[in-house]
Chain A
Amino acid sequence: MIATSAAATGLARCRCCGLVSAFAAAEECPRCSVPLQLRKPGSLSRTWAYLLAAYILYIPANLLPIMETRSIFSVQQDTIMSGVIYLWVSGAWPLATIVFVASIIVPLAKLLALTLLCVTVQMKTVWRAKQRTELYLFVEFVGRWSMLDVFVVTVLVALVQAQSLATVMPGSGVVAFAAVVVISMLAAESFDPRLIWDPMNRSGKETSRGVSD
């Protein structure tokens, strides 16, 4: 059996229950009656739209303060980066590293990775398809961990209130940051990794047997 995609054979995998069945427009899955699709509709344009929005919001997310600490003596504004520096200086290096990776590296790396995936899919290249699939699965996996800083601000706001000597208020940057996280998760969700393999289906030679390890 020559390696071939279900779509090239006229079959579609149901997005709800996973059953493979014959594809026709407006046809429903025989098991769960969900309308069949070969690929996510408008995958690339939707991903591009989300990516653009996320890139734009990434700027205020990093420049605006994510929280404001007011005490009798002073008002201190913290951005994401200054929070990381604070953890680092106070000696909590492992946590500083986690927050730095989750809040600064990962959001940007995700956007760049999805951009790379969109561009290579549009070029219809067969270049490193397996690695690109792994990259996509990784982006999908790490997405939610970027919410970390939003939750940190939430807990700080809840605990440091007017009764104590200082008050922590959420800054406008945290809204932009949460929006970047949510929108880039939506971008990852709307990208269809099967598009990576579509240019390849005419030339495959592997046997398509399930392997187990």
Chain B
Amino acid sequence: MRKARSIVELLPEGLIACPDCDLLIDLVIDAQIGASVRCPRCGAELFRVRAESFENTLALTLAALILLLLANVFPVVGLNIQGHRIDATLIGASICLWDADMPLLAGLVALTTITIPAFELCAVLWIAFPLWRGRRPAGFIAIVRLMDFTHAWGMVDVFMLGILVSLVKLEHLAEVLLGVGIVAYGGVMLLIAAIGASYDQRVLWQAWEGARP
């Protein structure tokens, strides 16, 4: 541990390694905010140049959490079959799979469409608020590692497309009713994309290093 620390202190400050090809890069950033910095060897995006500010991230995340709550409370879509109305909520869709003796699938759908998006939004809020105030968030490392792990498994956008496809399939069968839930869930989808564009790991760690422990 001690030995590693002393060598690290000798390394140039801008030294990074490409996560996709491990090229050692002595980085000099002379680009504008918003510019994409790419690996000169494999061409993968290393990061975007960003201002170290969490105001946008915080606002977007709060809005997304509220919309996610609404999306879970109100029905997403409904069918009107000869005056008979059937509504589906987000969690209701998973429960139907559970009732059809497919507990694993029900778990997977609930996890990817509700649990993981909710966890990610709460985690961003938990981290970004103290950093915005210049403090180090409690449990920062554990949360960042967990977010790294869950990152690919939040599927709000894929689920939205799934709803769209199933509505087209049902169109001839019955009158399709759009609920408040689908508008809210669509909003969550757009906000998650905006949150992803408002910060990255690099900015998080820079802010963490500069923050009061």
Contact = CB atoms under 8 A, between A and B. Distances in A.
A210 B4 contact: no
B79 A150 contact: no
Interface residues of B, number: 81
10 contacts: A86-B169, A87-B165, A148-B162, A152-B169, A159-B79, A160-B86, A163-B81, A170-B97, A174-B105, A209-B28
B41 A143 contact: no
Q: Which size bracket describes the interface of A in this complex?
A: 35 or more
B19 interface: yes
B8 A30 contact: yes
Interface in A149-189: 149-152, 154-161, 163-166, 169-170, 174-175, 178, 182, 185, 189
Interface in B167-192: 167-170, 172-174
Nearest to B40: A211
A211 B109 CA distance: 41
A31 interface: yes
Nearest to B87: A159
B26 A1 contact: yes
Nearest to B172: A90
Q: Give 3 closest A-B pairs by Cβ, nearest first.
A: A151-B162, A212-B31, A6-B17
Interface stretch (B50-58, B62-70, B148-156): B148-156
Given A147-B162, A161-B86, A197-B21, 14 more contacts: A5-B24, A13-B19, A16-B145, A144-B155, A148-B162, A154-B105, A157-B97, A159-B88, A174-B102, A178-B108, A182-B108, A204-B41, A208-B23, A211-B38
Contact of A34 (B7, B20, B100, B145): B145
Contact of B100 (A20, A148, A157): A157
